[in-house]
Structure 1
Amino acid sequence: MLTLYSYPTLFGVADNNGYGLKVYAFLKLAGMPFLHEHIFDASKAPRGQLPYIVDDGETIGDSETIIAHVKHKYAVTMDDGLSEAQRDTDFLVTRLLDDLYWVMSYSRWQDERYWKQFRDALLREHPQLTEECLIAAKEFNAKRYYFQGIGRYEPDQAMARGLADLSVLAKLIPSIGFVHRPTPTTIDAAIYGFIANIYFYDIETPLKKFVGSHENMVRHCRAIHAAVSTPA
């Protein structure tokens, strides 16, 4: 059976990282049977990054590569019939979510307004962690942010970048149904992976306030959450 390796839960979502939750939601919506292993240590993962899967002895990393593998190998039909324009939209939204990821991560690990609350939530939900290991992770992430670029922003500037990303998503998500159809497609799973990690996040960041103020985003997030939180 396919096994998904990704970060642990936080605030009631199956993975506190947008990419892992995206893959989790995709597998659930596709009706794929799989095991889910939560880990913190990504050193054995392809490129040292989570999530990854092991499928019949084959190890595959990167959320988009994982999804493409599963679609091809198991003939997942979720996106059958999408137009070229819709697939182009999916590509662009996927890249937008890549940008949003850095702001979300920054808001947790680098923005001192929210860091202590995030740290305390991790320690509370995952007592095997220590404050020392989280400080080491914070320092490691600060280097990542600096070289990626987001770490050179002031906190409000970083949040403004994320709010711009969310503003585009708010225009894309419909008031009923899902992005392309009355039923979810892969891009809905991707959006959920990130929006759920903002909406259910129990710390009042500007990102969370924005999502909570948009009924269409809340409805979409809750609809996918309900669909993927029940047994397959």
Structure 2
Amino acid sequence: MLVGVYCCWGGSCRGVERAGCRNVDHKSKFRSKKGQLPFVELNGEEIADSAIIVKELSKKFDKNLDAGLTPVQRGISHAMVSMIENHFSWVVLWWRAKYPESMIKGYQVNLRNALNTRLPNPILNICFKFTAARKGMKKAKAHGIGLHTEEEILDFGRYDMRVLSEFLEDKPYFFGDEPTLLDVVAFANLAQLYFIDKEEEHPLRDFMNECYPNLVGLVNRVKERAFPDWDDICRMIDVNAQVAKPKEQGKETKEGTGPAEKQPLADDAEKGKGDEKEKDQEMEPEDKEEK
């Protein structure tokens, strides 16, 4: 089986190159048929939306994180996951849209790489503020969360974290000694706060650090268990894991790139458009990027 993973920020997904998975550079414009990111391609079948991705991959690989839960626990897990994905995650999205400059600095986003352009970062920062940030705020208002005052929205986030903290108590994971889907979903969202650069202010991150050390412990436990090489991954991972590194450019191959219509995203990410490969190979790197 081959899984191609199309993620946000130019396809950079930590750790997806493992177990036959490859992250694919979507050049910040190719999205799923539903218009969503992330999405995956499993043997040519496109799967979008994180919840559906987890569900389908669990079936394909016979890995059910909630197999040991009772029906009551599964119901609680479903309610908690829904709270995180349909409420808490929107608080995080609102902050990113409200403070785009802090978001860029806090996540150390290189917009030139993320947007596949040679424009200088100062110009990209301005463009991002008036395009992607406005789009994010529009989504937040359409959802409803963006219609409230800043303090009200932050209170929503604080209360969601309180609920999670009180349910976790002093357990290693929400339902005991082994992680379940709820732990994974909580990690994915809380990590977006916890790993914001310490130089940038974020009231919810500071609140979690000060008031809910058990949530901080959960984030670190999941990170250490799932990503023991986290620091190396953050420092060294290529945006497109299946494109050879510069010193190996002459050894590039096209094995396992997935469906034909997505192939240029994977194999020609460093060469420009797929239908002009030979011409691009003779061009200087700067000319390629302009194309």
Alignment equivalent of 2:103, drawn from 115, 118, 126: 118
Runs of 5+ consecutive residues of structure 2 not aligned to the other structure: 116-123, 230-291
Partner of 1:184: 179
Q: Determine whether 1:226 maps to 2:227.
A: no
Taking the aligned partners of 1:82 and 1:51, their CA distance within structure 2 comes to 28
Deviations 1:97-131 (A, max 9, x none): 12001111111212xxx432223456753433422
Partner of 2:255: none
Taking the aligned partners of 1:196 and 1:124, their CA distance within structure 2 comes to 16
Relative distance call for 1:124 and 1:102 in structure 2 (3 A) is: closer
Pairwise CA distance, 1:36:
2.6
Q: Determine whether 1:62 maps to 2:57.
A: no
Structure 1 contact 119–134 (Cα < 8 Å) conserved? no
Partner of 1:146: 141
- 3-state DSSP class of the match of 2:34? helix
Letter in 1 for 2:7: S
Taking the aligned partners of 1:180 and 1:152, their CA distance within structure 2 comes to 35
- 3-state DSSP class of the match of 1:46? coil
Structure 2 contact 96–133 (Cα < 8 Å) conserved? no
Letter in 1 for 2:92: M
Taking the aligned partners of 1:42 and 1:86, their CA distance within structure 2 comes to 40
Pairwise CA distance, 1:230:
3.2
Relative distance call for 1:66 and 1:200 in structure 2 (3 A) is: same
Q: Determine whether 1:211 maps to 2:211.
A: no
% identity of equivalent residues: 21
Supply the RMSD in Å over aligned alpha carbons.
2.5
Letter in 2 for 1:186: L
Relative distance call for 1:46 and 1:162 in structure 2 (3 A) is: farther
Runs of 5+ consecutive residues of structure 1 not aligned to the other structure: 16-20
Taking the aligned partners of 2:133 and 2:5, their CA distance within structure 1 comes to 25
Pairwise CA distance, 1:45:
1.5
Q: Determine whether 1:34 maps to 2:21.
A: yes
Relative distance call for 1:124 and 1:95 in structure 2 (3 A) is: closer
Partner of 2:7: 6
Q: Which has the higher contact order (CA 8 A, sep 6+)?
A: 1
- Answer with 1 or 2: which has the greater Rg: 2
Letter in 2 for 1:207: L
TM-score in terms of structure 2 length: 0.66
Taking the aligned partners of 1:177 and 1:139, their CA distance within structure 2 comes to 39
Taking the aligned partners of 1:157 and 1:123, their CA distance within structure 2 comes to 28
- 3-state DSSP class of the match of 1:47? coil
Alignment equivalent of 1:81, drawn from 68, 71, 81: 68
Relative distance call for 1:39 and 1:204 in structure 2 (3 A) is: farther
Letter in 1 for 2:100: W
Count of residue pairs brought into register by the alignment:
213
Relative distance call for 1:42 and 1:207 in structure 2 (3 A) is: farther
Partner of 2:93: 105
Pairwise CA distance, 1:228:
2.2
Relative distance call for 1:48 and 1:102 in structure 2 (3 A) is: same
Partner of 2:238: none
Partner of 2:32: 45
Partner of 1:198: 193
TM-score in terms of structure 1 length: 0.81
Taking the aligned partners of 2:26 and 2:47, their CA distance within structure 1 comes to 16
Structure 2 contact 90–145 (Cα < 8 Å) conserved? yes
Relative distance call for 1:173 and 1:125 in structure 2 (3 A) is: farther
Taking the aligned partners of 1:47 and 1:177, their CA distance within structure 2 comes to 36
Partner of 1:18: none
